[in-house]
Chain A
Amino acid sequence: MAFVERRQRSTLQRYVDQLVVMRIVLILITFQVVGLAVYEERSLNYRLVEAGGIPATISLCALAALAALAFADLVVNDVLPARFRFDIGSRKRDTIWLGISITYLGYAFVLVPHVGGAWLAGLFVTYALAAAFVAVYHVVVDLIERNRRREQ
């Protein structure tokens, strides 16, 4: 049996549905962080990426790509009708969200020693923990579902 069978409604589906709003909010925040880092020269995000050089640019691209994947997964698998499928998105949902979490924690790690960056680091840590929670939540719900199916 495949691990994730998102299209199949189950008794636990409502627990997954409850997290959709949180995922939407986190994706919008992530796009906002990327947008600020690219377009808003006065923002701390912009200066962070500017000071970080090539590794910072790569991490920002990775964050944008992960957010785009999470957005595609959300729209195709949770909003559009069942005939539209994005299997990689649903199978790798936890990895995508943990990737977002790791990137945010990387930014927090860079910001912590700098004066004035501590509040933004705290904000990034909050986003990272929320993203990690999304990943763990999905895996735990899927594990419970798998155990229930086996018992039936």
Chain B
Amino acid sequence: MNNNTAIRAISAVVWCLWPLTVLAATETFGATFRQISFAAWIVVVLLSGVSGLVALLQRLKNADLGTNWRIFVLAHMAGAELTGAVTFFGCEAIDANDFLQAALIALASFGGAAAMDKWASAFIDRVTGDITKKGQ
């Protein structure tokens, strides 16, 4: 089986499974989702975004990103928002103290952005390494 066939098989499985996954998630976490107001989600998104900005601005200050800055911005923001939302959801499920929730969301988003920073850096190194090898 070559790579293309494997990728097609994986994508077919994902497309078949995702409606079932959404249904299962709605059944399992639906009650928690319904308790959370839209305004709370907006504040969580803002809090995660600003925490991700801390990591992003540190990277922008300390390294010359050149033309790759878009990848870094996308990676930081995606990492921060995703970890922030998951942390918020987890905190809501265990009914943690509100201030503790805010602190945990901020810390998790910063951590998520920092992790994605490392990943983006490794990704760019790998891609540019491949291009350099092909050029030689």
Residues of chain B within 8 A of A110, CB atoms compared: 98-99, 102
In the bound complex, how far is the Cα of B46 from the Cα of A132, in angstroms? 10
A142 to chain B, nearest CB (A): 7
Q: A59-B99, A109-B98, A139-B61 are in contact. Are A102 and B50 (CB under 8 A)?
A: yes
Closest to B49 in A: A132
Within 6-41 of B, Cβ neighbours of A (below 8 Å) are at 37, 39-40
A102 touches B106 (CB 8 A): yes
Whether A13 is near chain B, meaning CB under 8 Å from some CB there, is no
B39 touches A118 (CB 8 A): yes
By size class, the interface of chain A is 20 to 34
In the bound complex, how far is the Cα of B54 from the Cα of A101, in angstroms? 11
Closest to B110 in A: A102
Q: Which of B39, B51, B61, B100 contacts A102 (CB 8 A)?
A: B51
Main secondary structure of the interface of A (DSSP, over half): helix
- Tally B residues with Cβ within 8 Å of A: 25
Residues of chain B within 8 A of A94, CB atoms compared: 57, 61
In the bound complex, how far is the Cα of B97 from the Cα of A55, in angstroms? 9
B44 touches A109 (CB 8 A): yes
B98 touches A52 (CB 8 A): yes
A138 to chain B, nearest CB (A): 9
Contact with A along B74-99 (1 / 0, CB 8 A): 00000000000000000000000111
Within 77-107 of A, Cβ neighbours of B (below 8 Å) are at 94-95, 98-99, 101-102, 105-107
B40 touches A125 (CB 8 A): no
B102 touches A109 (CB 8 A): yes
B57 touches A98 (CB 8 A): yes
B41 to chain A, nearest CB (A): 10
Whether A56 is near chain B, meaning CB under 8 Å from some CB there, is yes
Whether B121 is near chain A, meaning CB under 8 Å from some CB there, is no
Binding site for A on B (CB under 8 A): 37, 39-40, 43-44, 46-47, 50-51, 53-54, 57-58, 60-62, 97-103, 105-106
Binding site for B on A (CB under 8 A): 3, 52-53, 55-56, 59, 94-95, 98-99, 101-102, 105-110, 112-113, 118, 121, 125, 128-129, 132, 135-136, 139, 142-143
Show 23 A/B contacts (Cβ-Cβ < 8 Å), sorted by A. Answer: A3-B62, A52-B97, A52-B98, A53-B99, A56-B99, A94-B61, A102-B50, A102-B106, A105-B46, A105-B47, A107-B102, A108-B46, A109-B43, A109-B44, A109-B105, A110-B98, A110-B99, A112-B37, A112-B43, A125-B46, A139-B61, A142-B61, A143-B60
